[in-house]
């Protein structure tokens, strides 16, 4: 090997890690730890990369390297080494797991994606590492961050289950759910997953931050999404629920009318003389409807139907005591 | 930048090697910029490390070929070959794919459909097998669209802006001249933070409550520190309340900053928080109903603020429904 002037310890370590990854990729089968040691080589002196000659020390160094690879999220898989009498655990990296698909971005596209990652920060995702994978940082970052999107431990798993059609199982509201997830949506500051709940035999929406514990992913292509179920309707929770739909008549004071049209996502059905706006709102969740009406405090009034009006009055009377 | 660890170098090296190979060679300075790799360190790592990486038994034909980078100091051109195992960058993790597609999608509304962001996102989605808007829908607040762009422009150019603003707390519109310091999105709404001439101080405005907007010719002096990007930023004089939330109702405060949170036996939470507008607190209390209770309140907030608000709203329903 070419002798170079003395290197820093992190450079020697880098060489060993690169040799290890090269060896793990360049194999058609699982390699035992001993085989990996041979392929990576033995260190002879502080400036020489490779594993210590001493067996237990080499093993420790190997496991330290594997942790480093796991930190870099390099997909090392383990399995049985073929042709061994005793069952021996081996390791390898499959090229198809490792490689980013071809995408060939133009420089202006990379620059636009760069601006996007600096303008909208996803908690827990390093924007620069993502950009390196696409061909590096191009262009200038935005002057300041526009928005931060919260993360949740279950989020990446849920996303993967959607893109690979894996059934997702998790605990929610104290109960076990098996869900065929269709859409992940960030709306009104929260993450939601919409899909078919196998246990309820119906379509359901879940808040990702209320998933309790981890998500267990089934095998890929574990379900088929029915036609026409794709997409997300902006979050208006009173539209979703188990109750049969009723049309509520809601009167809003003149000053709040424009804001109400935006909040409800619809134009008023009529305008009264004083400028008050009357909305006809389809409600499937009375609780969620009461909640949105209360956002307007004394500037809104449910005119009908009687049961929704009575529900509001009962709620307020309870609180007036 | 602090000293790069072996892991920092590894992450960069695994991505820059395939890029240099795909380009058939590149200027060292460009590689350094694209991959945040200080040029001197990069040169050393290419010459002293990558050059000696290869496969067992490490004979010259099994080593990576690093060409260029002659002895001269600084600059130079580099090409890499004989590294088939490093010919592709690493795949994106699900979390990274989510972050990248989500960030691009969040900014897409209002962007040119043939523009670079749309094209980049389309390639990304196709490459990763993700249907944008179907598998993933990200909205940072939708009704704010038309004013975000002019406000961002005014903030960048330090131009004053005249707005007609609907104040939800006061229930009426007013005309204001503001110095937009910062535009941001939080919890599904877009906000502009800036000095308001009428209020005589820095305020946060919800962009979807701006009725009309004119960017003025007059310039303002930007502040040294544009302030925290939080819509619910407490001012020192704001009254504090202690809100007791039933177990399971803690989501109600998770998007608002608290001074203190105490979890009680049984799972209830006592949250101490600043209240900049009483109407905000009333809305929260009425929505939570029996799940929340004020344990303590500083004037002008009353401990029975929920009851007061409930009676006021109930008055609207007075004539027909209320038992006489």
Domains in chain B: boundaries = 6-86, 94-128, 145-219, 240-316
Is A117 touching B (CB cutoff 8 A)? Answer: yes
pTM of the model: 0.67
Region B81-96 average pLDDT: 93
pLDDT above 90: residue B170: no
Element (DSSP H or E) covering residue B125: helix B116-128
CB–CB contact B16 A299 (8 Å)? no
pLDDT in tens, A17-36: 999 999 999 999 999 999 99
- Name the β-bridge partners of A186: A191, B138
Smallest Cβ distance to A255: which of B171, B229, B321? B171
pLDDT-wise least confident of A99-113, A242-256, B304-318: A242-256
Confidence class of residue B199 from pLDDT cuts 50, 70 and 90?
A: confident
Query: Both A94 and A29 in a single domain?
Result: yes
B113-169 pLDDT, tens digit per residue, is 677 888 899 899 889 888 877 788 777 665 445 677 678 778 777 889 999 988 766
- Report residue B283's pLDDT band, with 50, 70 and 90 as the boundaries: confident
Each residue of B258-275: b (16+ CB within 10 Å) or e?
Answer: beeeeeeeeebbbbebbb
Least confidently predicted of A30-34, A92-96, A151-155, B258-262:
B258-262
Residue entry with tokens 């990854």:
A21
Q: Given CB atoms, is A143 within the 8 Å cutoff of chain B?
A: yes
| pLDDT tens figures, A263-321 | 787 788 998 888 899 999 988 888 889 988 998 888 999 998 999 999 999 999 999 88
3-state SS class at A12: helix
Per-residue confidence (pLDDT) for residue A139, from 0 to 100: 78
Identify whether residues A134 and A187 lie together within a single domain: no
- A100/B310 touch (CB, cutoff 8 Å), yes or no: no
> Closest to A14 (Cβ–Cβ): which among B6, B91, B102?
B6
Domain count, chain A: 4
A18 near B CB under 8 A = yes
As assigned by CATH, the class of the B240-316 domain is alpha beta
* Residue B67: strand pairing partners: B79
Q: From CA B180, how far away is CA B222, in angstroms rounded?
A: 9
User: For A48-60, what is the mean pLDDT?
Assistant: 90
The rounded distance, in Å, linking the Cα atoms of B219 and B323 is 59
Q: State residue A1's pLDDT score.
A: 43
Q: Are B229 and B185 in contact (CB under 8 A)?
A: no
The answer to the question of residue A61 being in a domain is yes
3-state secondary structure of A137: coil
Q: Is the pLDDT of residue B3 over 80?
A: yes
- Residue in the structure block whose two tokens are 């309870």: A318
Q: Which domain holds residue A211?
A: 155-233
A2 is a domain residue: no
Q: How many CB pairs under 8 A join A and B?
A: 362
Contact A130 B99 (CB under 8 A): yes
pLDDT in the model for residue B83: 92
Which pLDDT does position B247 carry in this prediction?
Answer: 80
Q: Write the pLDDT tens digit of every residue in A91-145.
A: 999 999 999 999 989 988 898 888 888 878 787 788 888 999 999 988 776 656 6
In this structure, how many other beta carbons lie within 10 angstroms of the beta carbon of residue B215?
15
Assess A291–B contact: CB distance below 8 Å, yes or no: yes
Give CA–CA dist B254/A12, Å, rounded.
Answer: 47
| Total residue length of chain B | 324
Q: What is the mean pLDDT of residues A33-46?
A: 91
Same domain, A75 and A13: yes
Q: What's the CATH fold of domain B145-219? A: SH3 type barrels. (2.30.30)
Confidence at A83, pLDDT banded by 50, 70, 90: confident
Any CB–CB contact under 8 A between A159 and chain B? yes
Q: Taking a C-beta distance cutoff of 8 angstroms, is the pair A195, A224 a contact?
A: no
Shared-domain flag, residues A162 and A203: yes
What pLDDT does B272 receive?
Answer: 87
Q: Which CATH number fits the domain that encloses residue A75? A: 1.10.10
pLDDT of residue B252: 66
Give the mean pLDDT of chain A: 87
Structure tokens that stand for A151 in this block: 């993360």
Closest to A192 measured CA to CA, from A229, A148, A237: A237
Q: Are the CB atoms for B274 and A208 separated by under 8 Å? A: no
pLDDT on residue B20: 96
Q: What is the mean pLDDT of residues B242-251?
A: 80
Q: Does A1 fall in a domain?
A: no
| Nearest residue, CB atoms, A163 vs list B34, B129, B322 | B129
Candidate ranges A5-9, B41-45, B302-306; pick with highest mean pLDDT: B41-45
Residue A314 touches chain B, beta carbons under 8 Å = no
Residues 6+ away with beta carbon under 8 Å from A163: B94, B97, B128, B129, B130, B135
- For B99, B152, B162, the CA distances from B174, given in Å and listed in that order, are 39, 22, 11
CA distance readout (Å), A259 to A190, A262, B177: 21, 5, 21
DSSP assignment of A174-203 equals: TEEEEEEEEEEEEETTEEEEEEEETTTTEE
User: A90 and A17: one domain?
Assistant: yes
pLDDT at position B141, please? 60
Residue A45 lies in a domain: yes
Q: Of the given ranges (A80-84, A231-235, B36-40), which has the lowest mean pLDDT? A: A231-235
Give how far B197 is from chain A: nearest CA, Å: 23
Question: What pLDDT score was predicted for residue A90?
Answer: 95
| CA of B236 vs chain A CAs: smallest distance (Å) | 25
pLDDT given for residue B187 in this prediction? 60
List chain B residues with CB under 8 Å of A186. Answer: 102, 106, 137-140
Question: Is A47 within a domain?
Answer: yes
CB A93 within 8 A of CB A77: yes
| pLDDT tens, position by position, B15-61 | 999 999 999 999 999 999 999 999 999 999 999 999 989 999 888 88
Please indicate, yes or no, if residue A3 is contained in any of the structural domains. no
Alpha-carbon distance of A125 to A155, in angstroms, equals 12
Prediction ipTM score: 0.73
Q: Please check whether residue A295 lies inside any domain of the structure.
A: yes
pLDDT for residue B311: 93
Looking at the partner chain, which of B83, B188, B316 has a beta carbon nearest the beta carbon of A301?
Answer: B316
pLDDT in tens, A170-194: 998 788 999 999 888 887 677 888 8
Average pLDDT, chain B: 82
pLDDT tens digits, A65-74? 999 999 999 9
| Beta carbons of A136 and B19 less than 8 angstroms apart | yes
Instruction: Looking at the structure, tell me whether residues A92 and A22 fall in a common domain.
Output: yes
Q: Which residue has the higher pLDDT, A195 or B189?
A: A195
């Amino acid at each position: 090997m070419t002798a170079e002037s003395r290197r820093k310890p992190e450079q020697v370590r880098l060489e060993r890690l690169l040799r290890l990854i090269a060896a793990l990729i360049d194999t058609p089968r699982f390699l035992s730890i001993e085989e990996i040691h041979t392929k990576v080589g033995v260190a002879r002196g502080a400036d020489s990369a490779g594993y210590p000659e001493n067996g237990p020390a080499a093993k420790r160094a190997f496991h330290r390297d594997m942790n480093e690879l796991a930190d870099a999220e390099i997909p090392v898989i383990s399995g049985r080494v073929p042709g061994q009498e005793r069952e021996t655990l081996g390791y390898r990296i499959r090229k198809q797991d490792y490689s980013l698909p071809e995408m060939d971005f133009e420089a202006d596209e990379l620059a636009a994606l760069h601006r996007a990652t600096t303008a909208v920060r996803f908690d827990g995702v390093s924007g620069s590492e993502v950009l390196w994978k696409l061909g590096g940082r191009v262009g200038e970052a935005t002057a300041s961050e526009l928005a931060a999107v919260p993360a949740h431990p279950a989020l990446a798993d849920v996303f993967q289950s959607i893109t690979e059609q894996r059934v997702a199982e998790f605990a929610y509201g104290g109960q076990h759910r098996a869900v065929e997830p269709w859409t992940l949506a960030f709306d009104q500051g929260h993450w939601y997953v919409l899909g078919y709940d196998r246990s309820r035999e119906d379509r359901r929406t879940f808040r990702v931050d209320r998933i309790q514990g981890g998500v267990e992913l089934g095998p890929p292509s574990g379900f088929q999404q029915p036609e026409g179920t794709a997409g997300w309707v902006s979050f208006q929770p009173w539209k979703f629920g188990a109750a049969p739909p009723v049309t509520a008549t809601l009167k809003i004071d003149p000053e709040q009318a424009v804001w109400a049209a935006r909040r409800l996502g619809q134009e008023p059905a009529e305008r009264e003389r004083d400028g008050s706006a009357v909305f006809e709102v389809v409600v499937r969740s009375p609780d969620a409807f009461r909640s949105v009406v209360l956002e307007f405090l004394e500037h809104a009034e449910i005119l009908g139907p009687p049961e929704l009006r009575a529900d509001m009055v009962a709620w307020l009377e309870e609180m007036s005591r | 930048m602090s000293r790069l660890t072996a892991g920092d170098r590894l992450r960069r090296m695994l991505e820059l090697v395939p890029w240099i190979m795909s380009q058939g060679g590149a200027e060292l300075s460009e590689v350094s910029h694209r991959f945040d790799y200080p040029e001197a360190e990069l040169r050393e790592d290419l010459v002293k490390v990558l050059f000696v990486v290869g496969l067992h038994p490490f004979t010259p034909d099994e080593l990576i070929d690093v060409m260029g980078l002659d002895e001269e100091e600084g600059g130079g051109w580099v090409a890499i070959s004989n590294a088939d195992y490093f010919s592709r960058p690493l795949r994106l993790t699900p979390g990274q794919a989510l972050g990248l597609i989500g960030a691009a999608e969040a900014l897409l509304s209002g962007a040119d459909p043939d523009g670079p962001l749309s094209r980049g996102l389309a390639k990304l989605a196709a490459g990763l097998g993700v249907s944008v808007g179907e598998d993933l829908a990200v909205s940072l607040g939708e009704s704010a669209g038309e004013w975000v762009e002019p406000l961002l422009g005014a903030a960048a150019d330090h131009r004053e802006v005249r707005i007609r603003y609907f104040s939800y707390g006061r229930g009426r519109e007013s005309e204001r001249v503001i110095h937009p310091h910062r535009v941001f999105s939080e919890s599904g709404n877009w906000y502009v933070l800036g000095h308001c001439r009428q209020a005589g101080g820095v305020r946060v405005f919800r962009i979807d409550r701006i009725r009309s907007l004119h960017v003025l010719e007059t310039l303002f002096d930007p502040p040294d520190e544009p302030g925290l990007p939080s819509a619910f930023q407490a001012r020192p004089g704001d009254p504090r309340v202690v809100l007791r939330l039933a177990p399971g109702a803690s989501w109600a405060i998770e998007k608002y900053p608290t001074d203190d949170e105490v979890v009680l036996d049984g799972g209830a939470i006592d949250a101490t928080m600043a209240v900049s507008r009483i109407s905000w607190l009333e809305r929260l209390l009425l929505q939570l109903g029996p799940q929340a209770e004020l344990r303590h309140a500083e004037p002008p907030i009353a401990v029975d603020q929920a009851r007061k608000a409930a009676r006021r709203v109930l008055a609207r329903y007075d004539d027909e429904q209320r038992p006489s």
